[in-house]
Amino acid sequence: MMSTNALKLEDEMAPTRLADISQTQQERLSHIDFRLRFLGTIGRNDLVSRFGIKAAAATRDITLYKELASQNLEYDTKAKIYTQSDAFTPLFDYPRHQALTALAHGFGDDFVATHKALIACETPAQLNKPQLDTLSVLTRAIHQKKPVEITYRSLSSGQTTREIAPFVLVDNGLRWHVRAFDRKRSRFTDFVINRISDPRLIPDSEIEEHETKDNDIQWNRIVELEIVPHPRVPFPETIEHEYDMNNGVLQVNVRAAVAGYVLRRWNVDCSDDHHLEGAEYHLWLRNRQALYGVDNLIIAPGYANPR
Domain boundaries, the chain: 20-105, 132-211, 221-299
Query: 160-163, long-range: CB within 8 Å, 24+ apart, which pairs?
Result: 160/184, 162/191, 163/202, 163/205
Nearest 10 degrees: Cα torsion 236, 255, 186, 264:
-20
| Secondary structure class of 189 (helix, strand, coil) | strand
Beta bridge partners, 294, equal none
Residue 108 is predicted with a pLDDT of: 66
Read off the pTM: 0.87
Cα gap 181→296, rounded to integer Å: 16
pLDDT of 14 higher than 70: no
**E-strand spans in the chain?**
41-42, 73-76, 81-84, 148-154, 158-171, 176-182, 187-192, 196-201, 222-229, 250-255, 268-269, 283-285
Confidence of residue 202 (pLDDT cuts 50, 70, 90): very high
pLDDT of residue 173: 87
pLDDT tens digits, 261-297: 999 999 999 999 999 999 999 999 999 999 999 998 9
CA-based torsion, 225, 231, 233, 239: positive or negative: positive
Residue 302 falls in which region: left (phi positive, over 0), alpha (psi -120 to 50) or beta: left
Mean pLDDT of the chain: 91
Task: Considering the domain delimited by 132-211, tell me its CATH architecture.
Answer: Roll (2.30)
One-letter amino acid for residue 281 of the chain: Y
Least confident of 95-109, 151-165, 242-256: 95-109
What is the C-alpha separation between 285 and 249, in angstroms, rounded?
A: 10
Sorting pLDDT into bands at 50, 70 and 90, what band is 125? confident
Helix (H) or strand (E) holding 172: none
List, for residues 31-85, the tens digit of each pLDDT value: 999 999 999 999 999 999 999 999 999 999 999 999 999 999 999 999 999 999 9
Q: What is the CATH number of domain 20-105?
A: 1.10.10.10
CA 284 – CA 292 distance, rounded (Å) = 17
- Reported as a pLDDT band with limits 50, 70 and 90, residue 97 is confident
